[in-house]
Structure formats: structure tokens, C-alpha cells
Structure 1
Amino acid sequence: MSAIGSDTGTTLDNLFGLSGRVAVVTGASSGLGMGFANALADAGATVYAAARRLDRLAALAADNPRLVPVRCDVTSDEDRRMLVDRCYEQSGRLDVLVNNAGKPGPPHAEDETVAGFASILEVNLAAGFHLATYAATRLPEGERASYINISSVIGLVSTAPIGGASYAASKAGTLGLTRELAGQWGRKGIRVNAVVPGWFDTEMTDGLFGNEKSAGWVRRNTMLGRGGNAGEIDGAVLFLASDASTYMTGQTLIVDGGWTAR
């Protein structure tokens, strides 16, 4: 592997490799979360892939020996603590946390219910906060960690008629939470950053790209003229998880084909 700066001897493996590291990815049974889990494992990490659908996680782990499937409902405090504790019991550490689990809400504000709005915020915002907080309490003094929160372009700009009030609130809240936790935990050795995906063809965006009207709307409003392809956001998560970003915290990394820059 070629050196990056011959005076330091830093290599790409040193910068981006995750050998010996332990990671957690929530919402890993499908979509972007599945890609994140595989990318971190391919970089050398042991990845605890967490989701409610254990059968899908088991199938994922069958193809990648570095993946450890864990059934976890992120809205359950018991499950969250079990997930973190299992990392320490089995692997002795937790270096990377990717808060990816989430669900969409209704697109029209008038269709939101009190219970439904609260449910979206619980899954998309509160669950990741509580998981990160517990992980932070378990981090040994002197150790470092990287926490990565997955937001959305819907948390940055209006995407009406697609999006939704509760989802937008949860994803905008994720960005504010990222900055605040970065400020509180930076001197403890914990970096906290956010990744903002644009439009990717996943289970959560089911129907968006299969409909020519909505697919055309994405193409017209994205600088690159298309939606994101599988794997095109994995590098951003790998960058934030690795030593390539050790002087980066409290930041938002946008991977949207230019959607929010137009």
C-alpha cells in the first residue's frame, strides 16, 4: 500500500483500516444500514449488526464472518443496554456506533397523529440518543470512539410533497443532537458526526424510483441527475469511523448528489 506522506509513514490501511475495532450498526437488516455493516466489516471491524428482523441479519452474517447478528428493538432500553453490553462481554470494546435505525412518517402534516408523531421521534431520534449515552458510559477512560448519526436531506431542507413533518423533525433534531453530544464528549475521546443521505433506492423509499413521476422529480432536482446507487454512501461512514477523520467532530457530511446545494 502506498504511503500518504512519506515523512510520517501513514498508509491508507492505517487511515481507513478498522482491523481490531468493534462496531455497532442499528437498522442493519436492510437498505443503507446493511451496506454500512458490510463496509465496516470489509474494512476489518467486527460488526454487531442490530435490527428486529433476526432472520435477515442471520442471512447477512452467513456471507460475512465479521458480522454478528443481534436482535434489537432500539426503542427498548433493555435491548439497547444488551447490545452494548454484548460488545464488551464478547469483544471487550466498542469503537464505532452507527445510529441508523429509523422509520418514515406520513407525508402530509394533517395526517400526523399525536401518538404517531411521538413514535417517529422515539425511533429516529430518542433511541439513538439513549444508545449513544449508554455506550459513552461504558467507554473506558482514555479510550476513543466514533459515533455516527444517520440523518437525511429532509432534516436540512423541505422536500415536500415527499418527506413528512415528524420525519423532518426527527432528522433535523439528529443534527442538533450530533453537535451537542460532540461538544459534551469531545474531551472524553468521543467524536460525534452525522451523515446526511440524499435519495437512495432502499426499503424506506419504496416506490420512489419505481414511479416515473417521482423518479423524474429526483433526477431534475439533483445536480448529478440521478439518485444514489448502492455503496455510494458507505465511504462516508467508513471515513468517519476510521482514523482518517480523527480531527473531525460535530460535523455533517452530506452525500446527496448535490440535492441541497442547488
Structure 2
Amino acid sequence: MSNLFDLNNKVAIVTGASSGLGVQFTKALAKQGANVVIVARRIEKLNELKSEIEKYGVKCLAIRCDVNNNDEIKSVVEQTVNTMGRIDILVNNAGIAVNVQAEGQTDEQWYNVINTNLSSLYFFAREVGKVMIKQHYGKIINIGSIHSTVAMKPTFLTAYCSSKGGVQMLTKSLAVEWAKKGITVNAIGPAYFPSEMTQHAINNEEFKAIIDTYCPMGRAGKEGELNGALIYFASDASSYTTGQLLTIDGGWTAI
């Protein structure tokens, strides 16, 4: 039987690839044979990652992009097609969080989170989707969160939870719309994994107590524990799976 998880010669775009989960996702795809286009604002970080990825024997293209700039999104898609010839996989990973009480949150803070975590995912999927529809093939993987389905106290994450809840419904809606066009659209919902955005919280003793209370496994996620879900959704192993949010949380949302 052929390897259902083989990604050889596939072309993947990963947003938010300059750190954290974006780096892990990029490496996981490259190790399975995918050529990768890595996207973020910090081009120096992308170039460092590019040097690592090319050691796996795959092609890697680093492109600076602000995901809140639609012209730059369109440019990434154009450059990818011109350089790689196609787009098979999109990992919509870019995201931010603001921990501010709802009554004290500014308009700018709200819109920045919603635009980065939700609107940019739609705009990237829209532009990549145009290419995938022509190919009649594509795998879109949106990065949601446990907060796509649950909130949490005592943190103040109204904007973040709202954006990630939107990611779940964006995933479902695009999946339904593109189901007969050869495109699957799924989402991964991580709990707390080490990254620039979460490391300060994970290292905080009070937050460790929160994890122990809410997570049956009593710990944060570890590097690599999202890779299985990513490769499943990126590969032909998930050919009949679409519109799903797979929450990877040590049992957090089970209680």
C-alpha cells in the first residue's frame, strides 16, 4: 500500500513561520518531503529557518508578508505559483493574542486580533483557493485553538476566543463550499504549546496551576505533538475528512 502520509513534491505555504508552531509545522512538512514557502514579517528569522529546511533536501522559499495586507498575500500566492508551479497545502498559522479585560480593551486591540487571527485566514484561503480550484486539489489547514470551543478563567481573552471561534466556522463554511472542488478544509485546535506567544504563561506558576486544573494530563503540549494532525490533514490520508476541528489538548475540552 502506498504511503498515505507521503508529501513528496507537494508545495506548502506556512504563515507565521518565523517562530513557534510555524517553525514546527514547516519542519514537519519538509521531513515528509514537501517543498515549503515560509511567510512572516521577520524575514531574517525566515532566512534562518530556510537554511535549516534546505538540509532536508526540499525546496524552500522565504517571503516577507504582513498577513493583514491583502496585496502582500496576493504577492505570496503569485510568487509561489511562479516559483513552485502549484500550491497543494496552506497552513494558516499566523496569530496573536491580547490578554486584556473586555471593558478595557481598545478598538485597535480588538481589530488587530480579529484581523490577524480570522480575517487574514480567510483572505489567504481565498487567494490560495483560486489556485486550488484550478488544480481541483488542495489541503487547507487553519490553526484554531481550544478557545475555538471553550473560554477560560481567569484570563481575559475575549478577542482571541472570538477570533478562534470564528476560525472553526470559517473552516466549516469553506469546507462545504469547496467540497466538490477537490479541496479539503480542516482545523487544528491546540491547547497551550511552547511559543513566543505562550512561553511566559506556560512558565508562570499560577498558569501551571490552571493547566493542572483544566487539563486532565496536567501539562502543556510538547514540541512535535501537533505534527501527526498536521500531516494527516495535509496528506491524502484525510481525503474524506473536511470541515473538522481536531482539538489537541490533553483532554482539556473533554471536561
Does 2:47 align with 1:58? yes
CA distance in 1, matches of 2:216, 2:116: 31
Q: Which residue of 1 aligns with 2:32?
A: 43
CA distance in 1, matches of 2:159, 2:35: 34
CA distance in 2, matches of 1:163, 1:202: 19
Q: How does 1:131-146 map onto structure 2 within 5 Å? A: 131-139=124-132, 141-146=134-139
Which residue of 207, 211, 216 corresponds with 1:218?
211
Q: Structure 1: where are the runs of 5+ without partners?
A: 1-9
Contact 1:25 1:36 in 2 (8 A): yes
**1:206 offset after TM fit, Å?**
2.9
Does 2:94 align with 1:105? no
Q: How does 1:1-262 map onto structure 2 within 5 Å? A: 10-11=1-2, 14-65=3-54, 66=58, 67-139=60-132, 141-262=134-255
Determine helix, strand or coil for the equivalent of 1:207.
Answer: helix
Determine what percentage of the aligned residue pairs are the same residue: 39
CA distance in 1, matches of 2:135, 2:13: 20
CA distance in 2, matches of 1:54, 1:254: 30
User: Structure 1 pair 163/153, CA: closer, same or farther in 2 (3 Å)?
Assistant: farther
Deviations 1:58-89 (A, max 9, x none): 11111111332111111111110111111110
Determine helix, strand or coil for the equivalent of 1:161.
Answer: coil
AA of the residue aligned to 1:125: L
| TM-score for the superposition, normalised by structure 1 | 0.93
Determine helix, strand or coil for the equivalent of 1:25.
Answer: strand
Contact 1:49 1:69 in 2 (8 A): yes
CA distance in 1, matches of 2:217, 2:46: 33
Contact 1:104 1:167 in 2 (8 A): yes
CA distance in 1, matches of 2:233, 2:30: 14
**1:142 offset after TM fit, Å?**
4.8
Determine helix, strand or coil for the equivalent of 2:53.
Answer: coil
**1:93 offset after TM fit, Å?**
0.4
**1:141 offset after TM fit, Å?**
3.1
Structure 1: which 4+ aligned runs deviate by more than 3 Å?
Answer: none
Tell me whether 215-224 or 138-147 shows the greater mean CA deviation: 138-147
Deviations 1:182-221 (A, max 9, x none): 0101111111001000111211113112111211221232
Determine helix, strand or coil for the equivalent of 1:260.
Answer: helix
Contact 1:107 1:161 in 2 (8 A): no
Contact 2:133 2:183 in 1 (8 A): no
Q: Structure 2: where are the runs of 5+ without partners?
A: none
Deviations 1:35-68 (A, max 9, x none): 0011001100001011001111111111111332
Determine helix, strand or coil for the equivalent of 1:97.
Answer: strand
User: Structure 1 pair 93/163, CA: closer, same or farther in 2 (3 Å)?
Assistant: farther
AA of the residue aligned to 2:34: A
Determine helix, strand or coil for the equivalent of 1:63.
Answer: helix
